[in-house]
């Protein structure tokens, strides 16, 4: 960083031989976070994590970020409250930034109708991955568990369908429930996994909108179809219990893990010949990963549950505009 | 651009030997633009222009931008209206992008409580300028006129103080009034002027919050003071008339040009020895420029009006949080 915050512009000097990777994502109060149930620190963390997850899927090393903050208009007497919230947002962001060794290089504060955090993250990669590049026959590999973030949101909201999932889920203080809530409030971007996978994978995407939705983005960009064996999905025991309870209530048997969203797992397509290399590289990063299916010629996604075919869920994922 | 929109990340390959310059700015409906008086095309234009102006002040050549769009939550029946507005925002942005030969490389759409446009612009510069670097004795050079955008806003709002400024201002159809409204709705970022000035200037800032406010940002970063001769400011005849009318109503004699904001003029500090070179380089770009004052040892700004000392205006500029 040649020049950072305090000016209108940041000045950056990328290394030679690498490519600069840029992504932008906005979090809006009332849509992506809710300051009545989550702390401002969590919202700051999550805004940055969502962007780092996009860089991770590109196989890029995060380096810098810019943050545009929208602050609600309130009477002057309430400014100290705003300042406290802004500081907390910043400290959540700063802690993750330090852990990932990245620098805030620019920002902007404006008044708005409510809180919003728009982050642009910049990273470097030698061979960036994108959604394009998967071919029929490629194996689909999922790094990280799915369903926990959606379960965490339901637990926070006291959703009765999930409260009935078992004794454990009822008690928010259990380790398993707290892990699900943590996955929702403070997701961990799988940066090291993305870097490790980049030399092996043909295409990649992060699971932010829901596994099926993000898979369909990857397939559309790569012009192929796929089949997925849901029995291979990495799910916590509590997610399994909650999904079983939801299934008894008539929902899809993998409602949370297929369509839940906000897991920030990584989905890769990899040629058969490079599959072992990819799995070994991911194992070294300590992130659980598993082959969950395969790309096929044609269009669309077929679901299986072991040997049985499974219908698609009605709701395939999270669409912020689908309210 | 190696990969652009359609993926979560853009992949960029900057040229060797240059530095990457990044800036982010948000425009929020009800704060920075008002869809009841300005067209969505204008809002799209202005959001991008504000960011390009920051790059211009850094002496950077704009190359790429990312756009995060906040879209209000409305019933499904109103979605076609939203789509029309979003298209219009996009087309205003696209026209300016084409004119400046820059590419949209990434974006994000989210629902929010109202319209907002957050742009991150990236450019390249060999020797980027910043707010730091001005020294006592440096000459302050203003490129571009000031006061017109603030006058345009008052004309759009039918402000009686300005309506009384003279026969011309009363009629929004006159060329002079339309120019002021254009300066407000579709500001022109002085990109070529910034590039031309970069080899000569010691420090620079764009005049987005108001000349006095932005000057004070530059002086604080450079740790010096300044004196400015207001008689040297570039003001349109209609701004002069409007300021004279405002002065008769007890306001500061340079209320619009010192504190109006949104002019997107450029303010440079330049060593005496390089002043002629700077002015000649600016002249070639077709942008009017003039020495308006000088940096001094110490702190604070002293205003003159030719030979007479002038008080500072009560309101020194635009503060989005000061409502």
Q: Tell me the two tokens of residue B77.
A: 């029946």
Q: What is the pLDDT of residue A68?
A: 93
In angstroms, the CA B163 to CA B82 distance is 34
pLDDT in tens, chain A (323 residues): 666 666 778 877 777 777 889 999 999 998 888 887 778 999 999 999 999 999 999 999 999 999 999 999 888 888 888 899 999 999 999 999 999 999 998 888 988 888 999 999 999 998 889 999 999 999 999 999 999 999 999 988 888 777 766 554 456 667 888 899 999 999 999 999 999 999 999 999 999 999 999 999 999 999 999 999 999 999 999 999 999 999 988 999 999 999 998 999 999 999 999 999 999 999 999 999 999 999 999 999 999 999 999 999 877 665 544 32
β-pairing, B103-112 vs B10-12, is unpaired
Residue A56 vs residues A22, A143, A193, A243, A257: alpha-carbon distances, Å: 11, 11, 7, 28, 20
**B6, B8, B68, best to mutate vs chain A, most A CBs in 10 Å:** B8
Out of B8, B28, B64, whose CB is closest to A54? B8
Q: Could you give the 3-state DSSP secondary structure of residue A164?
A: coil
Cβ of B112 within 8 Å of Cβ of A111? The answer is no
Cβ–Cβ under 8 Å, residues B84 and A38:
no
Out of B9, B21, B22, whose CB is closest to A54? B9
Helix (H) or strand (E) run with residue A79 in it: helix A79-99
Task: Spell out which residues of chain B touch residue A31, defining contact as CB-CB under 8 Å.
Answer: 73, 110-112
Residue B264 Cα, gap to closest chain A Cα (Å): 13
In angstroms, the CA A24 to CA B107 distance is 6
Chain A nearest-CA residue for B67: A24
Mean pLDDT confidence for B311-322: 64
Cβ of A110 within 8 Å of Cβ of B26? The answer is yes
Cβ of A68 within 8 Å of Cβ of B25? The answer is yes
């Amino acid at each position: 960083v040649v020049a950072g915050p305090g000016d209108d512009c940041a000045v950056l000097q990328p290394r030679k031989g690498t490519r600069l990777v840029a992504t932008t994502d906005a979090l809006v109060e009332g849509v992506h976070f809710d300051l009545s149930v989550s702390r401002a620190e969590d919202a700051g963390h999550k805004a940055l994590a969502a962007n780092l997850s996009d860089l991770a899927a590109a196989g890029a090393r995060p380096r810098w970020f810019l943050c545009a903050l929208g602050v609600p208009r309130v009477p002057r007497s309430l400014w100290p409250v705003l300042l406290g919230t802004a500081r907390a947002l910043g400290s959540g962001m700063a802690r993750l930034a330090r852990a990932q060794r990245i620098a805030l290089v620019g920002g902007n504060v404006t008044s708005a109708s409510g809180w919003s955090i728009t982050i642009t993250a910049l990273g470097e990669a030698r061979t960036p991955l994108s959604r394009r590049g998967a071919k029929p026959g490629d194996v689909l590999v999922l790094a990280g568990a799915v369903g926990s973030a959606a379960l965490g949101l339901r637990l926070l909201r006291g959703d009765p369908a999930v409260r009935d999932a078992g004794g454990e889920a009822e008690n928010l203080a259990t380790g398993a429930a707290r892990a699900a809530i943590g996955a929702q409030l403070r997701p961990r971007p799988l940066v090291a996994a993305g870097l490790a996978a980049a030399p092996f994978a043909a295409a990649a995407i992060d699971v932010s909108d829901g596994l099926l939705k993000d898979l369909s983005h990857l397939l559309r960009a790569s012009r192929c179809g796929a089949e997925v064996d849901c029995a291979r999905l990495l799910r916590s025991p509590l997610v399994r219990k909650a999904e079983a309870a939801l299934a008894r209530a008539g929902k899809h048997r993998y409602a949370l893990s297929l369509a839940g969203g906000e897991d920030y797992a990584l989905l890769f397509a990899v040629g058969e010949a490079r599959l072992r290399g990819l799995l070994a590289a991911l194992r070294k990063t300590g992130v659980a990963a598993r082959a969950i299916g395969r790309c096929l010629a044609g269009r669309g996604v077929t679901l299986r549950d072991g040997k049985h075919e499974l219908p698609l869920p009605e709701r395939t994922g999270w669409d912020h505009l689908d309210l």
